[in-house]
Structure 1
Amino acid sequence: MLTNEQIGDALRKLSGTLRDGEKGFSEAAENAKDSSLKSMFSELSSQRASMASQLEPLVTQYGETPREGGSVGAALHRTWLNVRDAITGRDDAAVVAEAERGEDVAKGNYEEVLKEELPADVRSMVEAQYAQVKASHDKVRDLKHSMETAKS
């Protein structure tokens, strides 16, 4: 079993992942041209904000302070994307591809935490959130693949 500090660290990482997703999907909604994509990304941003709000009391319970923003790595990644996008311009396929890349990271972070021996209440919440993250990952991935197929 993990120590309380290790559990708090793991939950704090997931909290940061969710806040990164909230920001990333919000940016995707702002940059998508298609109204259905804007709507989907806005819904996913709201979902991530809600999930982070559910998780943050557990983060505090295990002695950590929830992250206000996302991770430093994600901030650097977003900065790089903004630079690249300023040069190449954005189209919806590029926005969806970046959303999928972010979802790959989120899914991986949840899978990493779920490998640990967690207390039952923590495991239950993390598994429920993982199911939501995986569903949105698969939705974005499938959308990316259908957009690629439509292009060719």
Structure 2
Amino acid sequence: MESNKEIISDLQELLAIVNDGKEGYESACEVTDKIELQGVFLKYAAQRAGYAEELKSHIATHGGVGDNESGGILGALHRTWIDLKQALSSKEDVAILEAVVTGEKAAIEKYDKYIADYQDHADHMQLLQRHREGILNALKEIETLLVARKA
């Protein structure tokens, strides 16, 4: 079994990722002038804030501290939402949506990594699966919006 320290580290990494997503969605909302997109971005920013609180609770359960309110300290390696900043400067909805898709796919990959490690994460597996499903649903909605704007 993985040590508590490693489980805490895994959960902190997911916390950084959901906070990156929250920040990305908030930034995207501020830049776009489309009411429809603002609503979608705010919805998913709030979702990620909720996920962050749930992860903090599980980190505390394992004796760790989940005080990360902003994105990851791991730099560009894990902060694929950094692409969003470049897209935001263009203020083009297609570029913003494409950057969001990239960030969501990276988040799903991270969740998949820890979900595959079922034995070590069994006590919070349902939480991880629910978060992954929510991120996947967000990805599908963003991809639908992207396809519509490219048409």
| TM-score using structure 1 length | 0.85
CA RMSD of aligned residues (A): 2.1
Q: Which residue does the alignment assign to 1:100?
A: 101
Q: Which residue does the alignment assign to 1:120?
A: 122
Q: Which residue does the alignment assign to 1:109?
A: 110
Name the aligned partner's letter for residue 30 of structure 1. Answer: E
Distance 1:48 1:60, change over 3 A: same
Unmatched 5+ stretches in structure 1: none
Name the aligned partner's letter for residue 114 of structure 2. Answer: V
Which of the pair has the greater relative contact order for Cα pairs under 8 Å at 6+ separation? 1
Please list the CA deviations of residues 62-112 of structure 1 after superposition, one character each: whole Å capped at 9, or x if unmatched.
2332122111325976666545754xx211111111111111111111111
Aligned residue runs from structure 1 range 2-151, under 5 A? 2-66=2-66, 67-72=68-73, 73=75, 82=85, 85-86=88-89, 89-116=90-117, 117-148=119-150, 150=151
Name the aligned partner's letter for residue 23 of structure 1. Answer: E
2: distance between equivalents of 1:92 and 1:83? 12
2: distance between equivalents of 1:122 and 1:40? 28
| TM-score using structure 2 length | 0.86
Please list the CA deviations of residues 10-47 of structure 1 after superposition, one character each: whole Å capped at 9, or x if unmatched.
11111111111110000011111210000100110011
**Percent of residue pairs identical:** 22
Unmatched 5+ stretches in structure 2: none
State whether residues 83 and 99 of structure 2, in contact with CA within 8 Å, keep that contact through their aligned partners in structure 1: no
More helix by share: 1
State whether residues 33 and 91 of structure 1, in contact with CA within 8 Å, keep that contact through their aligned partners in structure 2: no
